[in-house]
Amino acid sequence: MNGKYTIREINKIPELLKKAKDYKITFDKNKKYTFVGCGSSYNLGLIITKMLKKYGYYSNIISGGEVIVFDTIPETDIAIFLSRTGESTETVKAVDNFKKRNIKTIGITCTPDSSLTKICDETFVFDFANEESVVMTGSFVFILNFLLNGIKFNDIANESEQLLLNIKNYIDSIDLKKYNHFVFLGFDEQYGVSKEGALKIQEMAIQNVEFHEPLEYRHGPKSTLTEHSIVIINSKDTEEELKLAKELKEFGAKTILIGKNKDIDIPYNDGFESPLKMIIPQYIGYKKALIEGYDPDQPRNLSKSVILD
């Protein structure tokens, strides 16, 4: 149970990000977009939707499941379907619901000749980012960076190399055996980053996880904090988040503040730094899984695609 594929795919992130300049998606403020996905792909859509709205674009996010169960179709000009394997049944089936309304469909996947590539009007296929492991790691970081570059291009490849080393050194210094409760906090698009972060640790290490807005955490959820809790704040470098971190430490929790000159130094860059923040929970999930005797490459009860009859 050495998670050899998972760690290889995390280590590959700087190499993937170097390819970002070779691919381009363009968003138009005169068009309405809807992102469709499941699991981590849904979280990708959630983050990019928050970012598009922030910069004056019209965007929605909806799960493939909601589309196929309720035929819910937001007012949309272009629907973008996210699936690493291109085979997730709910996402693939949802394409038909949009096409029946003559809505343009774009698929984003890492698998050539997949079902998604065959039914969408256009596709982006990032086969170099495909993964052996079940859990999305490097591919998530790359696709998020790719989508964010459609708003404003940011070259984060060189930065990611040193950051990956810094993250490993920091996480390796924590005795993860002591912790069984992981809380992620973030505002706006950082809420999406937090949601995905919680999912990584839940998938790989089968841990008790939560995600909330930072200040909302005071209003009830903090009742479950113990000395076995780690709280990770995906900060927007605000004073209130710093105060919250200090407060939660007083309750005995381990807090990790991610921000400018903080525990993990990733300055807030209007959300465009979000792909870099995703490396942290991916590595925590990998390490904690090994400690607990789980195989992060093949998590319990999971497969790379949810394929339904």
Categorize the per-residue pLDDT at 6 as very low, low, confident or very high, splitting at 50, 70 and 90: very high
β-strand partners of 259 = 265
Per the listing, tokens 């790359």 go with 142
What is the token pair recorded at 72?
A: 């819910």
- pLDDT (0 to 100) of residue 3: 87
* φ, ψ for residue 39, nearest 5 deg: 60, -130
The predicted-structure confidence for 157-204, as pLDDT tens digits, reads as follows 999 999 999 999 999 999 999 999 999 999 999 999 999 999 999 999
What pTM was computed for the model? 0.96
The predicted-structure confidence for 62-115, as pLDDT tens digits, reads as follows 999 999 999 999 999 999 999 999 999 999 999 999 999 999 999 999 999 999
* Domains of the chain and any CATH numbers: 4-149 (3.40.50.10490), 157-292 (3.40.50.10490)
Asked whether the predicted pLDDT for residue 229 surpasses 90, the reply is yes
Q: Does residue 257 contact residue 230 with C-beta atoms inside 8 Å?
A: no
- pLDDT (0 to 100) of residue 301: 64
By C-alpha distance, which of 292, 195, 201, 184 is closest to 248? 184
What is the token pair recorded at 105?
A: 């469909």
Cβ–Cβ contacts within 10 Å for residue 224, how many? 12
